[in-house]
Structure 1
Amino acid sequence: MQAGAVRATIPNQPREAVEVRRARPGPAPSWVVPVVPSVVMVLLGAWGLTRQGSMWRDEAATWQGVHRTVPELWRMLAEVDAVHGLYYLLMHRMFAVAPDNLLTLRLPSVLAMAAAAAGTALLGRRLAGPWAGLTAGLTFTAIPSTQHYAQEGRPYALVVAAVVVASGLLLTALTTRRHAWRPWTAYALTMLVAVLLNEFAALALLAHGTMVFLAARTALIPWLTAVGGVTLGSLPLIVVSLGQRAQVAWIAPMTGARLLSVAGMVLAGCLCAWAVGRRRPDAAPAPVSLPALALPLLAVPQLLLTLASITWQPLYVDRYVLFGNVGLALLLGAGAERLLRAGRIRVPRRNWPLVAMPLLALVALLPVELSMRQWNSRVDDVLAAASEAEARGGRDGAVVYLPAARRDTALTSPDAFRGLRDVTLARNGPDSATLRGIEAAPVLIRTAMLRERRIVVISDLGIQHHRGTAVRDVAKREVLTEHFTLCEETRVRGRHVAVYERGATCADRS
């Protein structure tokens, strides 16, 4: 008798031994598919979450916004950052009930990305089977940009989670006959939340529309109705944010490297879609194939934002279309499962390599993952600059920010600047309904600075490297260059802190 066989007596048959081979192991329990990726994502998110106690400038904007009263926040959103309004309000409530620290700032993103990982796995299970779903969820966690934005106090992880939930609701709506309005309503409300968290989530709507048009045209009318509801609900935000377009003026034009990156992701998705083909006969019933959902979710937002950046205005930033990672993970997970099922890769237990591949990817990407958890994975660190300013500033003198946006150093750590007079500020942020306040006219800035003997300057690279043309910044630079002497300077985590004195040489300081 061969190894691994068991004896069994078949009823109504002679009582001789009959060899029966052990059955192959069945699929993993249903709860494993969403739980394992979400747990892995939580562990990856918790790993190095404080990033050496650092906070970069975008997170500083969140910090400033959520520490205002709700009326102050509403007035600010009418002038600036309306696109992040819902996120600021949610985080305002978060900080009202949780400690005032970096963990509170970033934990919602970790949890949202864990929910997105679980949702991606469920989508994969629904469209291509449990092993494809488990692989897709783990692949989603292994993508570096997923881990990057899971550790940021910004809304992008929440947007991804909302898009994943909306995608599942859309699939439900396409299969529901009785009370069909319920999943369509839930879909519209979830997509409205996604768009209110960030307007670029509207590109996911277009990806869903592409899927409906290609695979379920009978649902075009209810989908268009849902889109109409999302549009009406987000119209006030759209109108206000159009008046704040200057906030995206910093985005650089598309480069050749960026174009190649987008093309590479879309091409990889297309190859996986070809490998997956149509839905497996033994997969769970679904209205569309996995490629019909995943490929548009990956490709449509990427290509549309790229086209807009080339023909209209630079707008492409990877975090604006971060939900494309869901489509990529679904395609990679289902593609790997299909290749193994086709017998092109022969292993003793053919299902386990599906789990091993994304885990091996996590190991292979360890240097990248380590670098993402260092302070220098972001542009700067406002907290380190504030500590340096406190050490060098003392309790007497003035402080000047060049450009004015570097005032976020003090707004996130006001205690570090007690005793230093902000001599260029005319109206603070809450009073002026702006994020960082309004500075005085250039002539008043000159007068105020010339009254001071000692000035601490917070800048990006130092005034000798500052090339800004804003008239207020030019005035600051000219006064410092012509009337003050540089006595101390240091470069700290992406920012420059310097001490200037007037009327004495640096050696005369006591």
Structure 2
Amino acid sequence: MVLGPAGLMLFLGAWGIRRQDAVWRDEAVTYDMAHRGLPDLGATLLHVDCVHGLYYALMHCWFAVYDVTLGDALGAVIGLRLPSVVAMTAATAGVALLGQRLVGRRAGLCAGLTFALIPVVQQYAQEGRSYAAVCALVVWASYLLVLAVSRPCRARWLGYTGLMLCACLLHEFAALALPAHGAAVVLARLPRRDRRSWTCAAGAVLVLLAPVAVFSTRQSAQISWLMWPDPVQLLTFALLAALGALCARVPVRSRGPIGLRALGLPLLLLPTALLLLLSNVEPAYVDRYVLYYVVGFALLAGAALARLLRPAGAAGGTRGRRLRWPAAVALALAALLPVDVHLRSPDSRDDDVTAIAQAVRRMSEPGDGLLFTPSRRRIWRATRPHDFRGLRDLALERSPVASHSLYGTEVSGDEIRDRMLTSRRIVVAGDPAGQPLDTSDQELAKRATLRSAFAVCRSAAVPGARITLYARVGHPGGGDRC
């Protein structure tokens, strides 16, 4: 019941994990932060990204071991993503055990297999970010909640509190799982003792999380790029919510004080609904922030599938069930194969830092100027600094490490223009056409100087970026020739 789903998740996580060594910019941030010294990391978190501070610290410890043991053999990309594969495998095992505890062994097996086959689960199992670990912690906290109300024990409540606190410290929006757990406690009509125990546990989590949450509000400009939720993400949630509600109508018999619907439906619906409501005040919705909502869908769908695939009665029914199981899994794998293959391609993420760095290297010569437009795209050089060696970052004032920031600081627009006018050739790594243009003094100076004093030599489109080589018009050294 556990090994089958966990083994499937481990296989799916390992399949195509390198993604042709493509790394997207959020993973590049993880790599950069994890390779800073702990004093530098702590100083940076005081200014930016403290919401991911615990994750970066854990990844720093992981890379300290990985780089000197397996790094040369397996490569940095696998090291970046391997913890997420392990975390999602643990989450799958937890979903299977949770389904077994709520309904039965067959429901647990179906729930674990369903969870492993969901494309968004496979996506974040192969990303060097905290979302897989958060999902695993919420799953196992939910399991301990079910155990604690079935057989009350202080150790289980302490375990639940500890796991939820760790999940929230890895990412604050894990706290949105608490209302789902609270709804399950209320809907199950538990004794007052259990309700009081959950209230104390949830209160302790929120009190201990509060200082970090309050401090992180000072860094809310980091998500200022968020607008109204992405339609594809909303459609995915709406589809899973509708299917989950439909599966909840299939009659199943729950085995404990907390029923399947009492936990599954709130976990599926409440975190995303609350985050969408919060987004009406300040845009904050991205599906990965509440990735654990798919756990509710997997539990409901798993129980419904177990009911529909149950043996008809006698030995013939059992043989039929044995035949149907491999066929059902094979059919699901075949139906999802195009999506799964796409998720393991470099084009599946917003950009490809590796392809961008290689394009810059091919287009440049030692001594050329270099510009990132906008400046936050300087993160593109974090994982492959050797591809930028010999280039002069014309706008850079202080490096990301020296400035305790993610992207470094830049000089004024006037100084950028003066530096650009001393260059014969400039390689520009920028966003593709159609993206919003930053209106800072520095970005305005970059664009104006390129238009007035430089001509385009050649340009190349790579996933999520455009690399352009400019030459100075009328330069005394013949810079108008590319």
1:363 is displaced (CA, Å) by 1.5
Which residue pairs with 1:150 in the alignment? 125
Give CA deviations for 1:136-193 in whole Å, capped at 9, x if unaligned: 100101101000110000000001100111011111211234xx22111110010001
User: How many residues are aligned here?
Assistant: 467
- Cα distance 1:269–1:50, how it changes in 2: closer, same or farther (>3 A)? same
- 5+ unaligned residues in a row in structure 1: which ranges? 1-32, 280-284
1:393 corresponds to which of 355, 360, 364: 364
Give CA deviations for 1:331-359 in whole Å, capped at 9, x if unaligned: 11101222344959x95635433564344
What SS class does the counterpart of residue 176 from structure 2 fall into?
helix
**In the alignment, is residue 187 of structure 1 matched against residue 156 of structure 2?**
no
1:316 corresponds to which of 282, 285, 289: 285
**Larger Rg computed on CA atoms:** 1
In structure 1, C-alpha distance between the alignment counterparts of 2:457 and 2:234, rounded to whole Å: 46
1:492 is displaced (CA, Å) by 2.0
In structure 2, C-alpha distance between the alignment counterparts of 1:375 and 1:257, rounded to whole Å: 19
Letter in 2 for 1:302: T
Tell me if the contact between 1:276 and 1:291 (Cα under 8 Å) persists in the aligned partners.
no
Give the TM-score normalised by structure 1: 0.87
1:111 is displaced (CA, Å) by 0.6
In structure 2, C-alpha distance between the alignment counterparts of 1:300 and 1:355, rounded to whole Å: 34
What SS class does the counterpart of residue 249 from structure 2 fall into?
helix
Moved more, 317-326 or 256-265: 256-265
Tell me if the contact between 1:133 and 1:334 (Cα under 8 Å) persists in the aligned partners.
yes
Letter in 2 for 1:487: C
2:332 corresponds to which of 357, 361, 382: 361
2:18 corresponds to which of 47, 50, 68: 50
1:326 is displaced (CA, Å) by 1.1
Which residue pairs with 2:256 in the alignment? 286
Tell me if the contact between 1:117 and 1:140 (Cα under 8 Å) persists in the aligned partners.
yes
Letter in 1 for 2:126: Q
1:272 is displaced (CA, Å) by 1.5
- 5+ unaligned residues in a row in structure 2: which ranges? none
- Cα distance 1:139–1:359, how it changes in 2: closer, same or farther (>3 A)? farther
What SS class does the counterpart of residue 499 from structure 1 fall into?
strand
1:274 is displaced (CA, Å) by 2.0
Moved more, 368-377 or 491-500: 491-500
Tell me if the contact between 2:54 and 2:169 (Cα under 8 Å) persists in the aligned partners.
yes
Tell me if the contact between 1:384 and 1:493 (Cα under 8 Å) persists in the aligned partners.
yes
How do residues 131-142 of structure 1 correspond to structure 2 at under 5 angstroms? 131-142=106-117
In structure 1, C-alpha distance between the alignment counterparts of 2:299 and 2:215, rounded to whole Å: 35
1:81 is displaced (CA, Å) by 1.0
Tell me if the contact between 1:131 and 1:351 (Cα under 8 Å) persists in the aligned partners.
no
**In the alignment, is residue 326 of structure 1 matched against residue 300 of structure 2?**
no
Which residue pairs with 2:6 in the alignment? 38
1:255 is displaced (CA, Å) by 6.2
Tell me if the contact between 1:35 and 1:118 (Cα under 8 Å) persists in the aligned partners.
yes
Letter in 2 for 1:206: P
- Cα distance 1:149–1:256, how it changes in 2: closer, same or farther (>3 A)? closer
**In the alignment, is residue 79 of structure 1 matched against residue 50 of structure 2?**
no
In structure 2, C-alpha distance between the alignment counterparts of 1:57 and 1:92, rounded to whole Å: 18
User: Matched residues, percent identical?
Assistant: 45
1:337 corresponds to which of 299, 306, 310: 306
1:411 corresponds to which of 369, 382, 388: 382
**In the alignment, is residue 129 of structure 1 matched against residue 98 of structure 2?**
no
1:499 corresponds to which of 466, 469, 473: 469
1:269 is displaced (CA, Å) by 1.7
- Cα distance 1:258–1:420, how it changes in 2: closer, same or farther (>3 A)? closer
Give CA deviations for 1:25-58 in whole Å, capped at 9, x if unaligned: xxxxxxxx11111111111011110111100111
Tell me if the contact between 2:103 and 2:252 (Cα under 8 Å) persists in the aligned partners.
no
What SS class does the counterpart of residue 427 from structure 2 fall into?
strand
In structure 2, C-alpha distance between the alignment counterparts of 1:153 and 1:323, rounded to whole Å: 17
Letter in 2 for 1:398: G
In structure 2, C-alpha distance between the alignment counterparts of 1:93 and 1:453, rounded to whole Å: 44
Give CA deviations for 1:108-129 in whole Å, capped at 9, x if unaligned: 0011101111110011111111
1:217 is displaced (CA, Å) by 4.9
Which residue pairs with 2:237 in the alignment? 262
What SS class does the counterpart of residue 432 from structure 1 fall into?
coil
Tell me if the contact between 2:30 and 2:56 (Cα under 8 Å) persists in the aligned partners.
yes
Letter in 1 for 2:23: M
Give the TM-score normalised by structure 2: 0.92
Which residue pairs with 2:185 in the alignment? 212
In structure 1, C-alpha distance between the alignment counterparts of 2:169 and 2:301, rounded to whole Å: 30
